[in-house]
Amino acid sequence: MLTVGSLFAGIGGLDLGLERAGMRVRWQVENDPYCIRVLEKHWPDVKRYGDIRGIKWSEVEPVDLICGGFPCQPVSVAGSRKGDKDDRWLWPEFLRAVREVRPRYALVENVPGLLSTDDGRLARGVKGDLAEQGYDSEGGCVSAKDVGAPHLRKRVFIVAYPLDTRRGSEPIIFTERFYSSFPRHDGAEDAMGDAFEGGCGGFAWWRAGAESENGRCRMETDAVANPDGQGFTRPSVSVFGRGPQQKDADTRGPSQRDVSDADRAGFPDLQGCGAFTERCWDRTSDSADWWDIEPDVGRVADGVPSRVDRLRCLGNAVVPQVAEYIGKAIVEADNESRG
């Protein structure tokens, strides 16, 4: 069983997914008081550390895999994108942990903005830093929709392993078999396209083992809420998981009102189904047992304790089902390497 050390653990989205894949979390690093309370509840017997900048890694238990999503604010398109000039750019601390602990695997998570900030210099720097420590790396762009969720939440994942692990230039983690295992409704080819062309164009240089001039990610075209108030720009199978006939629908029909409508009328009436009704979801999704659509709740939540903390933590968290898929691919590759 692979053992895991979790950096920037948050509320444990990566940790939960990797444990579902058959790994065991041995320690966690987190500095936020509310997140720590959540981790203490669900991992009461796991050792925890605070500020990553003060950890002496020589005193930390060795593990097989180090995972973590270092803060995304320096590269997010929602921020000023100062990159490594931002005080929150903590990739060097992630790298320090890898350098001193020397795990067999490292799993790095961040937003797609990592690939486009400073024309991809930082993303290439991550690959180069890992290579200097004796690790090869490959990456993929995986969305929550790929594992059956009714939303996008696209994230970049990088897996690093010793240089002599991979034979040739083909990936061992983000393979065609990996993408074809997703419970999507538009097929493995579209999943591969999201990862290496449309969703995160230019990311193939990790897959091919060679650097590219184009380490950048295109802006999301499936946006659910747009700042110009135009609602859905493209009612797409990637958003709703309906049917392939919706793929090329580029016009905003009369039934497609703004997403912010309190009566949920903003969801387009696709295939005669209004909004995300249980009837519509059950009819079109093979993974409805994973994702229960929330009821028609009011716009204001009264009496919910720590609501702001909860929303912030959920916003920062990794979808556990995505981490589980990647974890299973790592376990499979590890078993194959052991013969």
Residue 306 resides in a domain: no
CA distance 81 to 232: 26
Closest by CA to 143, choosing from 192, 94, 100, is 192
Residues 250, 195 share a domain? no
> Using one digit for the tens of pLDDT, what is the confidence trace for 23-51?
999 999 999 999 999 999 999 999 999 99
Residues 241, 329 share a domain? no
Cα distances from 243 to residues 23, 38, 227, 279, in angstroms, run: 36, 38, 27, 15
Residue 307 resides in a domain: no
Other CB atoms within 10 Å distance of the CB of residue 88: 12
Query: Is the model's pLDDT at 72 over the cut of 70?
Result: yes
Percent of residues, the chain, with pLDDT higher than 90 = 42
Token pair of 181 as six digits: 């295992």
Element (H, E) at 282: helix 278-284
Choose, from 72, 200, 217, 280, the residue flagged as catalytic: 72
Residues 291, 195 share a domain? no
Q: Into how many domains does the chain fold?
A: 2
Residues 247, 103 share a domain? no
> Using one digit for the tens of pLDDT, what is the confidence trace for 246-257?
333 333 333 333
Domain that holds residue 75: 3-220+314-338
DSSP 292: P
CA distance 22 to 43: 16
Residues 323, 284 share a domain? no
Residues 332, 247 share a domain? no
Range with lowest mean pLDDT among 12-21, 175-184, 287-296: 287-296
Residues 324, 177 share a domain? yes
Residue 294 is predicted with a pLDDT of 58
Residues 140, 277 share a domain? no
Residues 172, 46 share a domain? yes
CA distance 8 to 292: 28
The CATH number covering residue 214 comes to 3.40.50.150
CA distance 27 to 235: 43
Active site residue 72: yes
Residue 305 resides in a domain: no
- Whether the full predicted model's pTM is greater than 0.85, yes or no, is no
Dihedral pair phi/psi, residue 237, rounded to 5° = -60, -25
Residue 309 resides in a domain: no
- How sure is the predictor about 107, in pLDDT bands with cuts at 50, 70 and 90? very high
Reduced to 3 states (helix: H, G, I; strand: E, B; else coil), residue 260 is coil
Token pair of 183 as six digits: 């419970």
Residues 207, 277 share a domain? no
**Strand-pair category, 105-110 with 155-162:** antiparallel
Mean pLDDT of the chain: 73
Residues 207, 288 share a domain? no
Residues 235, 216 share a domain? no
Token pair of 216 as six digits: 């950048």
DSSP string, 37-81: HHHHHH-TTSEEE--GGG--GGGSPP-SEEEE----TTT-TTS--
> Using one digit for the tens of pLDDT, what is the confidence trace for 215-246?
333 323 333 333 333 333 332 322 222 223 33
Residue 77 resides in a domain: yes
Residue 68 is predicted with a pLDDT of 97
Average pLDDT over residues 94-99: 98
Q: At what angle do helices 13-20 and 320-338 cross, to 10 degrees?
A: 50
